Amino acid sequence: MKALLVVDVQNDFLPGGALAVSRGDEVVAVANAAMREFELVVATQDWHPADHGSFASRHPGRAPGETVRLGEVDQVLWPDHCVQGTPGAEFAPGLDTRRFAAVFRKGMDPSVDSYSGFFDNRRRGSTGLAGYLREKGVGEVFILGLATDYCVKRTALDARAEKFAARLLLEGCRGVELRAGDGERAVEEMRRAGVEVLLGAYAVH
C-alpha cells in the first residue's frame, strides 16, 4: 500500500505569504493531479502558537535567517508564519483538501520546531504519523510540498528512518533557498538516504 504525503502546502509558504517560497503556488496543481493516483492521501500542516520559538520576533536583536539554539538543537529563525487559526496557516486556495484522509499538525510546542511530519527537531515528540501509516498497511510513501530544503527534506529522511520506502515527487516541491542551491543539496541528501527522486509529477507506480 502506498500513500501520498502533502507537506505544508499552506498560504504563508506561497508567494505573498509570510515565509514565501518562490513559485510555491505551482505545487498546488501538481498535488491535485498526484492525489488522483492515490487511495490514501495524508497532509501535514505547520501549526505554530503565536509565541513560537522559531520566530525571530521572539529573539530581540535577531533577524530571520539567523541561527540560534532552541530545544537543544540549532534553529534557523523565521518570520512569524503559520500561526494557528490565521489565514496564513490555512491550506492553499485550490488545493483539493477533500482528499485528505488525515492532517498531521506540527510545530505546536513553542520550545522546539518540527520540520518533519513525523517527529520534532529534537526527535522526541512524535505526531503519530508513522503509527498511522503502519496501521493503514502503508509501506511506501510519496512526498511533495513545501519546502524542499526544510519540511519536505526532514519528512522524507524520517520516512526512511522509519523504514518506509520513500519517493520524492520533485515537480511538486519548491525550496526556500535561504542560500542558493539549498534545494538541490536537500535533494542530494534525500537521495543518499535512499529516497528515490522522481522528476515527473505523475510518475507513480
Which residues contact ligand VGL (rule: CB under 6 A)?
Answer: 8, 13, 46, 78, 115, 146-147, 150-151
CB nearer Zn ion, residue 18 or residue 133? 18
Cα pseudo-dihedral 123, 24, 34, 137, rounded to 10: 10
Closer CB to ligand VGL, 39 or 51, in the complex? 51
Write down the residue that cell numbers 519517493 correspond to: 167
Question: Of Zn ion, ligand VGL, none, which one sits near residue 146, judging by CB under 5 to 8 A according to partner kind?
Answer: ligand VGL
Residue with smaller CB distance to Zn ion, 25 or 46: 46
Give the CA dihedral 143, 133, 118, 13, nearest 10 degrees.
40
Shortest separation between residue 51's beta carbon and ligand VGL, angstroms: 15
Report the nearest approach of Zn ion to the CB of residue 114 (Å).
8
CB of 191 to ligand VGL, least distance (A): 18
One of 80, 82, 113, 151 is an active-site residue; which one? 151
Query: 3-state class of 26 per DSSP?
Result: helix
Rounded to whole angstroms, the Cα distance separating 45 from 174 reads 16
| Cα angle value 132/136/139 (rounded, 5°) | 95
Query: 173 catalytic, yes or no?
Result: no
Mark whether 106 is an active-site residue. yes
